[in-house]
Homo-oligomer: A and B are copies of this chain.
Amino acid sequence: MADLRVDLAGVALRNPFLLASGIWGESGESLKGVWAAGAGGVITKSIGREPRAGYPNPTVESYDRWGFLNAMGLPNPGIEEYPQEIAIARGAGALVVGSVFGHDADEFADLAERLAATGVAALELNLSCPHAEGLGAEVGSDPGAVEEICRAVVRRVRLPVIAKLTPNTHDIAALAVAAERAGAAAVSAINTVRGLSIDATLRRPTLSHGLGGLSGPAIKPVGLACVWQIYEKVRIPIVGVGGIGRAEDALEYVLAGARAVEVGTAVAFEGVGVFGRLARDLSSRLDALGVSRLSDLVGAAHRESGAGATAAAP
């Protein structure tokens, strides 16, 4: 049996599969269920200062097996009430990563500090929500802002800080470099890809917010490209996210440079059992490949590929 354990910036994971933020992440019982299903760790819903109801419905549009478009609007119970949910998950032994979002560096740092006090193993900064004004990607596509926010958080908490980056930019590697420079312990990529769906009969966008973010199998190539480009520019570990639902997807992300991965949409497509399946299948796949430790493969596609294959593109 191949060894799936990974060290993510000092956090020991029993396997590389983390629950992605925003999926099954509002309630402690759900986080606990994901951990029980075999995840290597669970990332909370992105938490803000105040409770937030998010946008009115419709908030999700589904495409036949290849993706979702969502504009939830960052609903969350707020930092006051959310710690009780983390406590439930931690009570069950879950490794919890806390996710936060904010309007500026100070708010990020405050929230990070408060979440850190709940016993989470690491913090993920949501610098990348594609559909919330003044939050997320609006800040997150500017390397200067990314650096400032990461620096503010790193100064305030002792936990590893993971900067979650947006693909809605021409140069995600520059964002990763900014995060690294600021002392982030890792970066995760990608958040959703900006998209829109329209109902032609009603002549209007189907999501109440209009613009949303695409997730699921359709964005796997985009996520792989981002991880690939980031791997060529930074030395801190990368967490791959986007369209992962089968062990093979995860393996591709690892080969592109990811040390761990997050699983979101697949939880809805496949059910929470996907976590157990992913770990089992990845282990057998590695055995078949004659690889004893997953971590030996991190970034291996950069080393094996021929001349033309590594050429970086804009």
CB distance from A70 to the nearest CB of B (A): 11
Closest to A142 in B: B170
Q: Report A213-255 residues with CB < 8 Å from chain B CB.
A: 214, 217-219, 221-222, 224-225, 228-229, 248, 251-252, 255
Interface string of A247-275 (1 = CB under 8 A from B): 01001100110000000000000000000
Contact B137 A309 (CB under 8 A): no
Check if A32 is an interface residue, CB within 8 A of chain B. no
Q: How many copies does the complex hold?
A: 2
CB of A115, distance to nearest CB on chain B (Å)? 25
B210 touches A314 (CB 8 A): no
Answer yes or no: A169 CB below 8 A from chain B CBs.
yes
Nearest Cβ in chain B — how far from A7, in angstroms?
21
Is the CB of A308 closer than 8 A to any CB of chain B?
yes
- Cβ-based interface call for A164 (8 A): no
* Residues of chain B with a CB closer than 8 A to A289's CB: 200-201
Tell me the complex Cα distance, A126–B131, Å.
Answer: 28
Contact with B along A165-201 (1 / 0, CB 8 A): 0101110000000000000000000000111111011
B314, A225: Cβ atoms closer than 8 Å = no
Of chain B, the residue at the smallest CB distance from A200 is B251
CB closest residue in chain B, given A243: B218
Chain B residues with Cβ under 8 A from A248's Cβ? 200
Residues of B within 8 A of A225 (CB): 194-196, 211
With contacts A56-B308, A228-B196, A309-B209 taken as known, whether A203 is within 8 angstroms of B255 at the C-beta atoms is: yes
Q: Are the CB atoms of A209 and B313 closer together than 8 Å?
A: yes
Beta-carbon nearest neighbor of A169 in chain B:
B170
A167 vs B169: C-alpha distance when bound (angstroms): 9
Residue of B nearest to A256 (CB): B198
- Given the known interface contacts A200-B252, A224-B196, A251-B200, the answer about A209 and B141 at a Cβ–Cβ threshold of 8 Å is no
Are A198's CB and B255's CB within 8 A? yes
In the complex, how many angstroms separate the beta carbon of A296 from the nearest chain B beta carbon?
11
> Are A222 and B201 within 8 A (Cβ)?
no
Instruction: Give the contacts of A92-151 with B (CB-CB under 8 A).
Output: 130-133, 136-138, 141
Those 4 A-B pairs whose CB atoms lie nearest each other, nearest first: A195-B221, A141-B170, A218-B218, A138-B314
Sample of 5 A–B contacts (CB below 8 Å): A166-B170, A168-B314, A194-B222, A198-B301, A211-B313
